[in-house]
Chains A and B, each alone.
Chain A
Amino acid sequence: MKDISVLIGGRAGDGINSAGAVVAWLFSRLGYYVFVSTDYPSLIRGGHNFTMVRAADHPVGAYNDRFDYLVALNQETLDLHAPHCPDCIIVANADQVKKPGSGQTISVGEILKEESAPPVTGNSAMIGAFAKAAGIPWKTLEEVFTAHMPKAADENLRVARRAYGAVNTVRPVPVLGKAPLSLITGNEAIGLGLASGGLDSYIAYPMTPSSTLLHYLAGNAERLGITVFHPESEIAVILAGIGSAVAGKKTAVGTSGGGFCLMTEGLSFAGMAEVPLAILVSQRTGPSTGLPTYTGQADLRFVLHAGQGEFPRIVVAPADAGEAYVWSDAALRLAWKYQVPSIVLSDKSLSESTYSLRYEDLALLSIGERGTAGDNDVPYRRYRTTLSGVSPLAFPGTTGAVVKTNSYAHDEDGITTEDAALVAEMADKRRRKETALIEELAHLPCVSTGGKTDAPVALLCWGSVGNACSEVAAELGLRVIRPLVLSPFPDRQFTDACTGVERLIAVEENATGQLASLVKEHGGRADATVLKYDGRPFTPEELKLRVQEVLAS
């Protein structure tokens, strides 16, 4: 199996992200599956940033502890990472590095001077040096630079060429020769999935790690025909989202845990008023401000229970960009079909990492639309009781329809009531929607089962941790059970997935085993937990050791 890892490090502001992206494009052109993840502190300039590019001949969604190549833009990168990769191939910027050890260096400053090139092209020198050390054909660099920086390809190529000629090939990477795949981040996939689901408007306030979805949709608003709006706060975000949906536009909002705190009153409003709305919640390390740029999975219980009162909600937790695309499409469609809020629960690892995928391989789930109000709905009653609990939907502006949306307990017309029987009847109506939703979800793949699917020992996980679990399960011969839908909990599918399981080990990036406790609530039982909550995702190596410890106990 081909499996190559590259670490590129430097200061924040050095363009580590874009350098990583170019390295990813290089591997992709050579026919590799790529996974790119970034580690950066919460500041704009200075500090230590690094990007990890993993390239393999099979899909990957986690980064390793070990590296094969180390691209050091400064001394700190060498000091921090070189001790952990004794047999790394190192290329370093001679201007910033005093002791390159066994590595090769180039002077970026000298190259820029000789080529009269601007500082912004400096990383192209480092990429040129890395490519030569890794034996990547020059033609591949030309292709990547031309495709992805069309305006400045020549200048960057001149700089890269100088560095390419200045170092030796030490450890050539095999050329796989397969067609390159699309490189898409989790948040981009969520944006494209929402767009596919019919998104009209995206409303959000900046908050890492959800912001890149705001940026992506704003940047592609014209192309996708989506209105993107950034208001004054997350409170305004969700309420404007509700207003937009009430007016008939398919709307999504996005945030992280802190912003979602502010959204909870609006979430509960959407639950009572039966307003369809999709919400991205991308988790980072908490509580409170926590670690803004690091990952975690500690908001599961929060999103399941956020908001006062009881109302149905959909919560989906994809593991990678492909699932993020498919389930974001589904989350928006299901929200509208059942007039409930739906939450796409992501995390920093998924939202900001890049994955290889192919559009043609992404099979969207089949979710029909429920018809809007028609001639039989005169006079229009916003909350007309039906067998399914789902009322015909009309929007203000519809001829002859008085559409009354209400946050209070209300009657079928949307007029406030405190009548005991009516209040209970409308609560029952909302619960019937959940029953109908559960019936629909029974036909969708709500639980992913992977690894050795008949193994008696299974790893239980959710979200992005599923990728590391898959790798470990493959090595150790374990099963992986991963609910993709967490609300309403897919009891039946989960029970089926657990058939023959003698030992269930929950793997989560939180301190309390939130999925393990949810499973317990639903009649299951996790026999052990493997938890991590330092803001860093599990690497397959670390997870393997931790799981082996449990297996040995």
Chain B
Amino acid sequence: MTRNLITPAQNTWCPGCGNFSIQHTLKDILAGMENEGRSLDNVVLVSGIGCHAKIADYLNISTVYTLHGRTIPVATGLKLANPELTVICCAGDGDAYAEGLDHLIFAAKRNIDLTMIVHNNRVYGLTTGQYTPTSPLGFKGKSTPTGTAEYPFNPLELMLAGGATYVARGYTRKMPQLAALIRQGIAHKGFAFIDVLQICASFFNMTEYYQSRVYDLAGHDPADFDQACKKAREWDYNRDAPIALGVFYEKGYPAFNDRFPLKKAMTAEERQQQIHDLFVAAT
């Protein structure tokens, strides 16, 4: 059964928003999965709060529209409960790198098998334009009218240090590559992290800047951790430098669920017998 992958919910993203590209990329990936005979019943999309998160309303698959910064723990609970689920997290940069930062690092540490797509427009959009953890130094937002006094995080470097086993960067205006990165992330057994550069048409339109600096990683060995770190540091989200796109790092490693198997379900009678025995053992 082929389902309509888009819900009737009215789309409220601004014209030109990078979120459209991510939504269509995901829609195409899902359609492709269905065409390959894979059921979409086992796919769950988890979103945080912010413009990006509306994707939960727009895609006609099971979703959990969570809280700001909290995609990862909810997704972790889903995988803990049902390792068969294909879990895709969509999070914003404010969402994942500010309030959700601890969870993100722990997802990398745990190598939980899910795909984290960060819609990184480097600004808070829905709250009308404040700086985020990846806004450049001196960014003038509504909460920092004279410019920020802090450097941005380099999320790729952070994730490499955290132990992520798949680290990639995409760009919303390179959709075929973005689709390939997400597909590979979903296929990756373990924590797949994809920082997606997108523009905020209303508050931080970086189109020209990105267009002239992005390039594809070619001849790069994603198995080489040191090389991955070096490439990740080439552009630190602040200084002017070429911006590499592609897979920076990938390694095969047991995922959290491989080391943390679910306990075997028991019948109510078996359970009650065990409870009885524990009471008796305590006499």
| B205 proximal to A (CB < 8 A) | no
Cα–Cα, bound, A511→B14 (Å): 53
Let me know if A229 and B260 touch, CB within 8 A.
yes
Let me know if B60 and A402 touch, CB within 8 A.
yes
Let me know if A396 and B265 touch, CB within 8 A.
no
Cα–Cα, bound, A231→B75 (Å): 13
Let me know if B62 and A401 touch, CB within 8 A.
yes
Query: Assuming A359-B276, A400-B41, is B73 touching A198 (CB within 8 A)?
Result: no
- Measured between beta carbons, the chain B residues less than 8 angstroms from A266 are 67, 70
- Measured between beta carbons, the chain B residues less than 8 angstroms from A399 are 39, 41
- Measured between beta carbons, the chain A residues less than 8 angstroms from B81 are 200-201, 243-249, 251
Let me know if B103 and A236 touch, CB within 8 A.
yes
- Measured between beta carbons, the chain A residues less than 8 angstroms from B206 are none
Interface size in chain A (residues, C-beta < 8 A): 68
The range of chain B's interface size is 35 or more
Chain B positions 24 through 46: 1 when the CB is less than 8 Å from some CB of chain A, otherwise 0: 00000000000000010111101
Distance from A339 Cβ to chain B, minimum over Cβ atoms (Å)? 15
Closest chain A residue, CB of each to CB of B105: A232
Let me know if B282 and A416 touch, CB within 8 A.
no
Let me know if A236 and B279 touch, CB within 8 A.
no
Q: Which of B230-283 contact A (CB under 8 A)?
A: 260, 262-266, 268, 270-272, 274-276, 278-280, 282-283
Cα–Cα, bound, A246→B270 (Å): 25
Closest chain B residue, CB of each to CB of A227: B263
| A405 proximal to B (CB < 8 A) | yes
- Measured between beta carbons, the chain B residues less than 8 angstroms from A183 are 282-283
Let me know if A414 and B63 touch, CB within 8 A.
yes
Chain A positions 214 through 252: 1 when the CB is less than 8 Å from some CB of chain B, otherwise 0: 000000111111110101110111011111111111010
Closest chain B residue, CB of each to CB of A380: B62
Distance from A358 Cβ to chain B, minimum over Cβ atoms (Å)? 8
| B82 proximal to A (CB < 8 A) | yes
Query: Assuming A248-B82, A404-B63, is B77 touching A203 (CB within 8 A)?
Result: yes
| A166 proximal to B (CB < 8 A) | no
Distance from A402 Cβ to chain B, minimum over Cβ atoms (Å)? 6
Q: Which of B39-86 contact A (CB under 8 A)?
A: 39, 41-44, 46, 49, 54, 56-57, 60-67, 70, 72-82, 84-85
| B221 proximal to A (CB < 8 A) | no
Q: Which of A391-414 contact B (CB under 8 A)?
A: 395-408, 410, 413-414
- Measured between beta carbons, the chain A residues less than 8 angstroms from B72 are 236
Cα–Cα, bound, A112→B54 (Å): 70
Cα–Cα, bound, A398→B41 (Å): 6
Let me know if A241 and B77 touch, CB within 8 A.
yes
Neighbour of B64 across the interface among A203, A241, A246, CB < 8 A: A246
Let me know if A201 and B62 touch, CB within 8 A.
no
Let me know if B282 and A397 touch, CB within 8 A.
no
Closest chain A residue, CB of each to CB of B49: A407
| A427 proximal to B (CB < 8 A) | no
Let me know if B76 and A408 touch, CB within 8 A.
no
Cα–Cα, bound, A232→B103 (Å): 7
Closest chain A residue, CB of each to CB of B265: A225
Let me know if A396 and B65 touch, CB within 8 A.
no
Let me know if A269 and B66 touch, CB within 8 A.
yes
Neighbour of B271 across the interface among A28, A196, A269, CB < 8 A: A196
Cα–Cα, bound, A180→B280 (Å): 10
Distance from B134 Cβ to chain A, minimum over Cβ atoms (Å)? 22
| B9 proximal to A (CB < 8 A) | yes
| A261 proximal to B (CB < 8 A) | no
Cα–Cα, bound, A407→B54 (Å): 12
- Measured between beta carbons, the chain A residues less than 8 angstroms from B266 are 224-225
Cα–Cα, bound, A179→B168 (Å): 66
| A415 proximal to B (CB < 8 A) | yes
- Measured between beta carbons, the chain B residues less than 8 angstroms from A195 are 271, 274-275
Closest chain A residue, CB of each to CB of B103: A236
Distance from A397 Cβ to chain B, minimum over Cβ atoms (Å)? 5
Distance from B7 Cβ to chain A, minimum over Cβ atoms (Å)? 6
Binding site for B on A (CB under 8 A): 28, 179-184, 188, 192, 195-196, 198, 200-201, 203, 220-227, 229, 231-233, 235-237, 239-249, 251, 265-266, 269, 273, 357-359, 395-408, 410, 413-416
Other A-B contacts than A243-B81, A397-B82, 19 sampled, CB-CB below 8 A, are A181-B283, A182-B283, A183-B283, A195-B275, A196-B275, A200-B81, A224-B275, A225-B266, A225-B274, A227-B262, A239-B67, A239-B74, A243-B75, A246-B74, A273-B64, A400-B41, A408-B65, A410-B65, A416-B57
10 contacts between A and B (CB under 8 A): A180-B283, A226-B263, A231-B76, A245-B81, A248-B82, A396-B42, A397-B41, A406-B65, A407-B65, A415-B9
Give 7 closest A-B pairs by Cβ, nearest first: A243-B77, A247-B81, A239-B73, A240-B77, A359-B279, A396-B62, A244-B77
